[in-house]
A and B are shown apart, each in its own frame.
Chain A
Amino acid sequence: MYELSIIIGGPQGSGLETSASILTYSLARSGYGVLSDREYFSNIKGRHSYVHLTISSEKIPTFLTYPVQLVAGLDHETIFTHFESLEDGGVLVYDLYIEEKTLDTTPSMEEDLKKRLNLKFKKFGIDGSVKSLIKYISDVKKIKPIGINYSDVINEVSKKIALPASQAARYTSSIVIGAVAGLLNINKSNIEYSLIRRFGDRRELIQHNKIIIDLVYDKVVEEHGPLMKLERSKLDHRELMIASGNDVIAMAKIVGGLRYQSYYPITPAADESFMIESYEKLEVDGKDAGSVVVIQTEDEIAAIASTIGAALTGARASTSTSGPGFSLMVEGLGWAGMNEVPIVITYYQRGGPSTGLPTRGSQSDLLFTLYASHGEFPRIVLASGDHTEAFYDAIEAFNLAERYQTPVIHLLDKFLANSIKTLVPPDLSSIVIDRGDLLSNVSGEYRRFDISKTISPRAVLGANTIMWYTGDEHDEFGHIDEDPENREQMYRKRMEKLRIADEEIPEEKRMYYYGVGDEDVLLVGWGFVKGVAIETVNTLYTKGIRAGYLHIKMFSPFPSKSVKNLLNRFEEKKIIAVEHNYLAQSSIAVRSSVGVEIKKSIVKYTGRPIYKNELVEAVLRVLEGEDRVVLRYGP
């Protein structure tokens, strides 16, 4: 096999994340490309979580899809939740101990799913137990069940490592690693390498995990052979970086010169700040390479306020949040706009409104970020489509903020935040740090808001001059001024910056088109849609449908000319917006910016990512005449 989709699942807090990480490191060490999405509830222990991976020997995957070829579960809920996701002839790894479990004895499962499954079970003559379900899927769907008695494995290992079974049980999730690695025929030494990478000098953990993984690995290979052996990788990268979206942003901010980050804990943003804090002291070969102050504030209002304060002193400063946090930040956003303060807000969207789906993804805050806060002021809204884009964008966000002296909202989503990808390490040789018109020394009387220039030279608090700032309309010095002529000039000066940004930032950096030029179907998307959309147009192309993908990266200032020119090349009924929201928000932005109405849409708002299989099918439906397709796939 050259491409494989797998799911490993289990209760939240059971070590699943660690197992997925070790598998990913092992696969990367073997040269494979991996993209994995983690789906979980807002819960610490007990509710069902799973990792959905695409593994490829030919390229770094950019999408997730169904059905999967392998499901490996730590518990019965995984079997119940994912058996329908298995391809006919696929493989199911499960614990023999749970065969007698039934839907009714699975209290952690949500009643909605139980109800739906009960109806299906009745129809298919399944009595509600795992055993009966497995019999059904092996008979009808030709699924190969691989049952392992997990407690036997634990008991056997417990003797080997002389640890009571109750303590050895914490290695249960490694049974799944052993089984998956055996089936995929991952080189054992690469698994050991990953254990060492993961656990460092905790040698006991490495040894214990290795024993259990090897044991299951050998058992599975002996009984079933490497059923899902992957082709040798054709990727020729000498090294791969493994990182989540949160990780990538943290790295980029550090490279980009971030020196002050404040945050209030929120999913799915907080991991980024944690990572930056763990790198607060930057040292290379024992030499100081700078430091970042990371502050956990009392709320998001304080987070943005202190970010602005730090930015006023000249430090590159940012805050990182999600929807509910940004809702609290909007007054501060307006102050930054009014006072021309360069700040970066890293915004990971999740399902709203209100608390919504706090651990699930969404792209429903585009319009909010474009218009948030009262009054009018310029802002830059930049949305990244994948890990690599996000890395470079996070750095450019600071450059734009300082060049145009205005807040920049870097729009991301939970899909990106929590998906872990193998990446080619970034190339920093072409990265520019542009601090804009920043004065290191001021001579004579200083006017912070010098009206003779649209973008006034910026001195910072602590420089050899003094200045004032106020949220009120102000004069050139920063003092309150309600004079109508001054108001008109200052207002225009601020707003004009957006026009200058629009002139200066090349449109080809604000939108990308993926296609060869002869396409007659156009998908329009942004953010995490990018990966699956590109894969979808490629797949459609092989089916004889010439589809291209327009990826919009910057919504303010909007790349109007290029988008308009592109849209004009396509028939109205063949332009389709693809988004994770209800309103197809980017089409609203397109309409208000370029006056073209996108009438077709494919949307998903279940909180789960758009999968390739459903997107391909949805495009075909639209081409057959449907105006709107709502996607629902994925548990």
Chain B
Amino acid sequence: MVRKPVEYQSDVWVDWCPGCGDFGILASMYRAFSELDLSPEKTVVVSGIGCSGKTPHFIKTNGVHTLHGRAIPFAMGIKLANPELTVIINGGDGDLLGIGIGHFIALGRRNIDLTIILHNNTVYGLTKGQASPTLKRGLKPKSLPKPNIQDAVNPIALALSSGYTFIARGYSMMVDHLKELIKKAIQHKGAAFIEVLQPCITYDNIHTVEYYKKRVYKMEDSDWNPIVEKIDEREDKMLKALAKSMEYDEKIPIGVFYQDKCAVSFEERIHERIPTYLENPPAKQKIEQDGRPIIDNITFKKIFNQYIVEVE
């Protein structure tokens, strides 16, 4: 019996602004979790700070609401200590690409089997609409006193150059499409990144539902195959994805930009070094026997014999 989407809803009242794009993301997650039949006990939703940071409280799986910008390293510790857990990160554009951008890049380098859902609404909503790192220069949503003076980052291009092995973009108002992306991202073995375009209906009067409606189109509707099945396809597909990521003004593509199925995950890299890692990871190891360490005086001297000198 597969769990229904409603079974993933927690009892906490969702206190986002009525009409917020976050509702679409949340609904997509419930449905994706349901279709994958994720076990709540083996699933951890990790978030940072901001409107998106509250996401874990609304989901009836494990939830870890962390610090501003730090959801990725928290999630990394959870996943590496217990790789059997499915770990999904929710973060805003300010969280993941402003204060936390170093961690964002580092995760790409590691290719840990985590899923990131970037709530991209171009503003810092919870602090009343300051410009986020994805707001273009020169734009002035109504919350800003002056037009934005800083340039925007390109999240898809950044993810590509950082080493993410699954990169996609969704739109919060297209819940079914986004649900499919989330499912694929969770099923992907490696660092998966989904940028979700999302209107902030309270502070951003530029990137509205109308705005996106006119621009968004699905890449999969045309001849688009982003999947690397063999290593020698990597360069070609990555360059095509990079070119596609530059398309962002009149038309905005959504769907999967790039997926590398040949990449070795970080967990597999650890496993190569520690053959017992996957079956007996840090979280599952027994470290004591009747309240005593499993290393006794004799084993200690065997393990650390390099440091011990027998006196003549």
State the A residues within 8 Å of B (CB).
25, 28-31, 187, 189-190, 197, 235, 237-243, 247, 251, 254-257, 259-260, 262, 279-282, 284-285, 288-293, 295, 297-299, 301-303, 305-317, 331-332, 335, 395, 422, 425-429, 431-435, 460-472, 478-480
Q: A395's closest neighbor in chain B, by CB?
A: B293
Task: Assess the A316–B80 pair: CB atoms within 8 A.
Answer: no
Q: Considering the complex, which residues of chain B in the window 180-227 have a beta carbon less than 8 Å from any beta carbon of chain A?
A: none
Task: Assess the A462–B41 pair: CB atoms within 8 A.
Answer: yes
Known: A28-B311, A332-B67, A425-B308. A463 touches B41 (CB 8 A): yes
Q: How far apart are B90's CB and chain A's nearest CB, in angstroms?
A: 13
Task: Assess the A285–B277 pair: CB atoms within 8 A.
Answer: no
Q: B15's closest neighbor in chain A, by CB?
A: A480
Contacts of B60 in A (CB 8 A): 466
B44 interface contact, C-beta 8 A: yes
Task: Assess the B81–A478 pair: CB atoms within 8 A.
Answer: no
B76 interface contact, C-beta 8 A: yes
Contacts of B40 in A (CB 8 A): 466
Task: Assess the B62–A302 pair: CB atoms within 8 A.
Answer: no
Known: A187-B312, A259-B282, A298-B102. A462 touches B77 (CB 8 A): no
Q: B64's closest neighbor in chain A, by CB?
A: A469
| Known pairs A254-B295, A313-B77 / 17 extra A-B pairs, C-beta < 8 Å | A235-B311, A243-B307, A282-B295, A298-B106, A299-B102, A309-B73, A310-B80, A312-B77, A395-B293, A427-B297, A434-B291, A466-B40, A466-B41, A466-B62, A468-B57, A470-B56, A479-B57
Q: How far apart are A331's CB and chain B's nearest CB, in angstroms?
A: 6
Task: Assess the A435–B288 pair: CB atoms within 8 A.
Answer: yes
Task: Assess the B308–A241 pair: CB atoms within 8 A.
Answer: yes
Task: Assess the A310–B77 pair: CB atoms within 8 A.
Answer: yes
Complex CA–CA separation, A228 to B293 (angstroms) = 44
- A306: contacting residue among B76, B300, B302, B303, CB under 8 A: B76
Task: Assess the A257–B301 pair: CB atoms within 8 A.
Answer: no
Contacts of A239 in B (CB 8 A): 308-311
Task: Assess the B75–A309 pair: CB atoms within 8 A.
Answer: yes
A-contact 0/1 string along B40-73, CB 8 Å cutoff:
1110101001000010110011111111011011
A-B contacts counted at CB < 8 A amount to 258
Q: B275's closest neighbor in chain A, by CB?
A: A281
Complex CA–CA separation, A279 to B73 (angstroms) = 24
Contacts of A302 in B (CB 8 A): 70, 72-73, 76, 102-103, 106
Q: How far apart are B19's CB and chain A's nearest CB, in angstroms?
A: 22
In terms of DSSP, what is the predominant structure of the interface of chain B? mixed
State the B residues within 8 Å of A (CB).
10, 12, 40-42, 44, 46, 49, 54, 56-57, 60-67, 69-70, 72-82, 84-85, 102-103, 105-106, 270, 273-277, 280-283, 285, 287-288, 291-297, 299-304, 306-312
Q: How far apart are B3's CB and chain A's nearest CB, in angstroms?
A: 13
Task: Assess the A308–B77 pair: CB atoms within 8 A.
Answer: yes
- The contact sample of 29 A-B pairs, CB cut-off 8 A, is A30-B312, A31-B311, A256-B287, A256-B293, A257-B285, A257-B288, A281-B274, A290-B294, A293-B81, A302-B102, A305-B70, A306-B74, A306-B77, A313-B78, A316-B287, A331-B70, A332-B67, A395-B293, A425-B300, A425-B308, A431-B292, A460-B283, A461-B283, A468-B57, A468-B63, A469-B63, A469-B64, A469-B65, A479-B57
Q: How far apart are B215's CB and chain A's nearest CB, in angstroms?
A: 34
Q: How far apart are A319's CB and chain B's nearest CB, in angstroms?
A: 10
Q: A239's closest neighbor in chain B, by CB?
A: B310
- B282: contacting residue among A282, A293, A297, A467, CB under 8 A: A293
The 10 closest A-B pairs by CB, nearest first: A309-B77, A257-B287, A306-B77, A259-B282, A305-B73, A433-B288, A315-B282, A302-B73, A310-B81, A470-B65
Task: Assess the A431–B293 pair: CB atoms within 8 A.
Answer: yes
Known: A260-B80, A316-B287. A461 touches B303 (CB 8 A): no
Q: How far apart are A282's CB and chain B's nearest CB, in angstroms?
A: 6
Task: Assess the B309–A197 pair: CB atoms within 8 A.
Answer: yes
Contacts of A301 in B (CB 8 A): 69-70, 73, 103
Task: Assess the A242–B309 pair: CB atoms within 8 A.
Answer: yes
Q: How far apart are B16's CB and chain A's nearest CB, in angstroms?
A: 13
Complex CA–CA separation, A428 to B307 (angstroms) = 16
Complex CA–CA separation, A466 to B273 (angstroms) = 32
Contacts of B291 in A (CB 8 A): 432-434
- A305: contacting residue among B66, B274, B280, CB under 8 A: B66
Contacts of A332 in B (CB 8 A): 67, 70
Task: Assess the B285–A291 pair: CB atoms within 8 A.
Answer: yes
Q: How far apart are B51's CB and chain A's nearest CB, in angstroms?
A: 13
Complex CA–CA separation, A576 to B296 (angstroms) = 41
- A255: contacting residue among B61, B277, B300, CB under 8 A: B300
Task: Assess the B41–A478 pair: CB atoms within 8 A.
Answer: no
Q: A194's closest neighbor in chain B, by CB?
A: B309
Q: How far apart are B232's CB and chain A's nearest CB, in angstroms?
A: 30
Complex CA–CA separation, A290 to B279 (angstroms) = 11
Interface centre among B102, B106, B282, B300 (most CB of A within 10 A): B282
Complex CA–CA separation, A471 to B306 (angstroms) = 44
Complex CA–CA separation, A471 to B48 (angstroms) = 10
Contacts of B283 in A (CB 8 A): 259, 310, 313-315, 460-462
Task: Assess the B63–A478 pair: CB atoms within 8 A.
Answer: yes
Q: A303's closest neighbor in chain B, by CB?
A: B73
Complex CA–CA separation, A581 to B285 (angstroms) = 41
Q: B286's closest neighbor in chain A, by CB?
A: A290
Task: Assess the A257–B293 pair: CB atoms within 8 A.
Answer: yes
Contacts of A255 in B (CB 8 A): 293, 295, 300
- A428: contacting residue among B72, B77, B300, CB under 8 A: B300
Contacts of A235 in B (CB 8 A): 311
Complex CA–CA separation, A257 to B312 (angstroms) = 33
Q: A475's closest neighbor in chain B, by CB?
A: B12
Known: A238-B310, A335-B67. A433 touches B293 (CB 8 A): yes
Complex CA–CA separation, A291 to B270 (angstroms) = 11
Q: How far apart are A379's CB and chain B's nearest CB, in angstroms?
A: 17
- A290: contacting residue among B82, B106, B285, CB under 8 A: B285
Complex CA–CA separation, A308 to B311 (angstroms) = 43
Known: A293-B282, A315-B283, A428-B296. A471 touches B65 (CB 8 A): yes
Contacts of B275 in A (CB 8 A): 281
Interface centre among A25, A189, A257, A466 (most CB of B within 10 A): A466
Q: B79's closest neighbor in chain A, by CB?
A: A309
Complex CA–CA separation, A308 to B76 (angstroms) = 10
Task: Assess the A468–B73 pair: CB atoms within 8 A.
Answer: no
Complex CA–CA separation, A262 to B78 (angstroms) = 12
Task: Assess the A466–B61 pair: CB atoms within 8 A.
Answer: yes
Contacts of A305 in B (CB 8 A): 66-67, 70, 73-74, 76-77
- A468: contacting residue among B65, B82, B302, CB under 8 A: B65
Known: A247-B307, A260-B282. A291 touches B274 (CB 8 A): yes
Complex CA–CA separation, A264 to B49 (angstroms) = 24
